[in-house]
Structure 1
Amino acid sequence: MDDIADLPLAEFGFPGTLRDRLVAAILAGEKTATSSLLVEYEREGEPLPVVGARAVVPDSDGRAVAEIVVTEVRVVPLARVDVAHAVAEGEGDRTVAEWRASHERFWHGDEFRATIGDPEFTVDDATDVVLERFALTLSTALPLPRS
């Protein structure tokens, strides 16, 4: 079993209000899924998450506050995201249209575009989305993983 300090970080959103809201939803058990774009993994040369992988969730201040384990990973075109996933993200969306609108605001935002190095980046129905489900396994003040 890996020591918690050896686990990778699972960062939700960017530090600030959004991350605080997402982390609170994870700790409350309301958020059990997340979405990212395949292009993020490709640009970073990172492998996709795998079922059974554990990670530490930091808050906006960089404190480790939870451990999660991946329970499902799917890659689908944006047009095929389902309502079950949208609701499981725990952000208050009750329809795919609501989920998509809030996620497009994030993905089309200056901070996200700067992160992926494309100031004109946009998504469309064919954009591949990594849909990840996870379970909260531990919530407390945890040591941050070693760099």
Structure 2
Amino acid sequence: MWPRMDGIRVLELGTPGELRTELTELTLSGAKTATAGLPALDYDAEREAVEHVGERLVLVDDSGMRAGEVEVTRVELVPFGEVGWEFARAEGEGYTSVGHWRESHRRYWEGQGCEVGDDTTIVCLWFRLV
């Protein structure tokens, strides 16, 4: 189960350390307005439902402290091979193409022990800082 703060689910971006710090800063700057999740890793293993439009999440920093709050504006479950440029760009991490996005995410999830194929379902989550 994901941690809660004041009864609201917590959003922890990336893995602890440098990556989480970078992604949190991108979100707080407004550059990052989307993030991708892998159901098997991020939802099923934690017994959590996919977020829904209008849901608010507490964004936490690397130390687990509240850094801000986001509101979910859009949620799509999409096969990995069909994730488009609109989403890749909204992640705000400097991807130069959808291929670059796919390569980076495939490597990240494989590093977490999950193989990703073109037909693997991905949660594409858009949000706005509130």
TM (norm. structure 2) is 0.92
Instruction: Among all aligned residue pairs of Structure 1 and Structure 2, give the percentage whose two residues are the same amino acid.
Output: 40
Q: Matches of 2:105 and 2:63 in 1, distance apart?
A: 23
For 2:66 and 2:32, the matched residues in 1 are separated by 17
Q: Are 2:21 and 1:28 aligned?
A: no
Which of 118, 123, 127 aligns to 2:120? It is 127
Q: Which moved more, 1:6-15 or 1:78-87?
A: 6-15
Residue of structure 2 equivalent to 1:58: 60
Report how many residues are paired: 125
- 2:12 corresponds in structure 1 to 11
The alpha carbon displacement at 1:43 in A equals 2.8
Instruction: Please say which structure displays the higher CA radius of gyration.
Output: 1
Give the structure, 1 or 2, with the largest relative contact order (CA under 8 Å, sep 6 or more): 1
> Which residues in structure 2 correspond to 1:100-139 (within 5 Å)?
100-109=102-111, 112-113=112-113, 121-137=114-130
In the TM superposition, residue 73 of structure 1 has moved relative to its aligned partner by 0.3
Report the AA paired with residue 128 of structure 1.
T
CA RMSD, 1 decimal:
1.1
Could you list the runs of 4 or more consecutive aligned residues of structure 1 that deviate by over 4 angstroms after TM superposition? none
Gaps of 5+ in 2: none
What residue in structure 2 maps to residue 95 of structure 1? 97
Contiguous gaps of at least 5 residues in structure 1? 114-120, 138-147
